Amino acid sequence: MFPIHRPRRLRRTESIRRMVRETILTPDDFIYPLFVVAGSGIKKPISSMPGCFQESVDEVVKTAKEIHSLGIPAVILFGIPEHKDELGSEAYDPNGVVQTAIKALKDSMPDLVVITDVCMCEYTTHGHCGVVKDGEVLNDPTLELLQKEALSHARAGADMVAPSDMMDGRVAAIRGILDSEGFSHIPIMSYAAKYASAFYGPFREAAESAPQFGDRRSYQMDPPNRREALKEVALDIEEGADIVMVKPALSYLDVISDVKENFDLPVAAYNVSGEYSLVKAAAQLGWIDHDRVMLEILTSIKRAGADMILTYFAPEAARLLS
Ligand code: PBG
C-alpha cells in the first residue's frame, strides 16, 4: 500500500524498464504473407495495403530472400490463379502458382519455412471457400478438394499447411491424406477460430477472393462468440492440428488469451489486412505514429498469448527490432 509500494520505481529509467519487461517481440515471432501470381517480373502494388504486392514467382523469391535475411523464419503463400472455375481446380494443379513458388523458394532457401494457405476462395469463380450448390457452401464435398490442395502443396515441398476454409472436419481429412501419402511429418496450422470479419476487406482485393454472392457467415464464426472458439480449437486439436490460429487478432485478443490458457499447443494469431490498412491510412494522414502503433499492436497480440503472428508488418517490424 502507498507510500510503501511505488510501482513507478521500476519505470524510472529505460534500463530498469528493460529488466522488468514481460513481453519482447523478435523477428522469430513473425510469419510474412506473400501473394503469388502467374508470369514473371510482376510486382503489382495492392492499393489498400501499402507496401504489399501481388508478385510473380521470381519476385516472390526476391522478397522472401529479404524476409529471410531479416531473421523472419517463415512465409505463408496465397495464390491468385490464372483461371478460376467452379471447383477451383488450379488450387491442386501441380503446376499452379503456389506449387511453383514453393519449389522455387525451397530451392533457393531450404531453411525458410514455407507455409501454404489451403482454401478454395481464391480459385473459385464464386469466391466461396468450398463447393457451391444451389447457393449453399457444401461441407463434405469440399473436404476432398482441400485434401487434394494440401497434398499438392506437400508434394511441391511445403513445410506446413494452413487450412483457412472453416469447413467442419477438414483437419482430420487433411491429416489423413497427408499421412497416407507419406507426409506424416508435415504439420497442420489450422485457422481454428476464424471469424466472419469485415477486417478481411483489403485482403480480398489482394487475393481477388471476394465472394460473388452472399457472405461467409455460414462457415466462419460469428464475431460475438467467445466460448465457441474453444470448441472449434478443441475439435481441431482432436483432429490433429499442430498449431491453432485465432483470426483476426486485434479485435479478438480475448480469444487469443482464452486459447492460450486452455490448450498447450502453440497459438498463432493473424494480424489481418484491415488491421494493417487502418494503421497505414491513419499514418498517411499524419494522425498516428506509424512505427510506435505498429509495435504496440504486435506486442499486444504477443502479450495476449500468441506464440507467432502472421503479419504484413513483419519486415518493417523486424527492421526496427534488429
Ligand atoms: C481465405 C483467407 C482470407 C484471409 C486469409 N485466408 C480471407 C477470407 O476468409 O475472406 C484473410 C487475411 C487477411 O485479411 O489479411 N479464406
Whether the pLDDT of residue 1 is over 90: the answer is no
Ligand 1 interacting residues, C-beta cut-off 6 A: 117, 119, 121, 129, 164, 200, 203-204, 216, 272-273
**What is the distance in A from the centroid of ligand 1 to the CA of 38?**
20
Model confidence pLDDT, tens digit, residues 40-96: 999 999 999 999 999 999 999 999 999 999 999 999 999 999 999 999 999 999 999
Q: How many CB atoms lie within 10 A of CB 230?
A: 18
**CA R_g for the chain:** 20
Whether 148 sits among the annotated catalytic residues: the reply is no
Whether 43 sits among the annotated catalytic residues: the reply is no
Whether the pLDDT of residue 165 is over 90: the answer is yes
- Split at pLDDT 50, 70, 90, the class of 297 is very high
Best substitution site from 209, 280, 297 to test ligand 1's pocket, by max atoms within 8 Å of Cβ? 209
**Closest C-alpha to ligand 1, atom 5:** 164
Catalytic residue among 84, 103, 148, 194: 194
- Backbone φ and ψ for 2, nearest 5 degrees, come out as -60, 140
Whole-angstrom distance, CA of residue 268 vs CA of residue 9: 34
pLDDT, position 322: 85
Model confidence pLDDT, tens digit, residues 2-39: 999 999 999 999 999 999 999 999 999 999 999 999 99
Read off the C-alpha cell for 296.
504496440
- Among candidate residues 85, 84, 117, the one with its CA nearest the CA of residue 99: 117
Q: Please check whether the domain covering 20-321 is classified as CATH 3.20.20.70.
A: yes
Q: Which atom of ligand 1 is nearest to the CA of 166?
A: 16
The fraction of the chain above a pLDDT of 90, given in percent, is: 99
Model confidence pLDDT, tens digit, residues 229-287: 999 999 999 999 999 999 999 999 999 999 999 999 999 999 999 999 999 999 999 99
**Closest C-alpha to ligand 1, atom 7:** 200
Best substitution site from 137, 164, 252 to test ligand 1's pocket, by max atoms within 8 Å of Cβ? 164
Model confidence pLDDT, tens digit, residues 184-207: 999 999 999 999 999 999 999 899
**What is the distance in A from the centroid of ligand 1 to the CA of 274?**
10
- Among candidate residues 43, 41, 52, the one with its CA nearest the CA of residue 75: 52
Looking at the whole model, is its pTM more than 0.95?
yes
**Closest C-alpha to ligand 1, atom 10:** 200
Count of CA atoms in the C-beta half-sphere (13 A) of 217: 8
pLDDT, position 244: 98
Model confidence pLDDT, tens digit, residues 209-223: 999 999 999 999 999
CB-neighbour burial class of residue 17 (10 A; exposed 0-12, middle 13-18, buried 19+): exposed
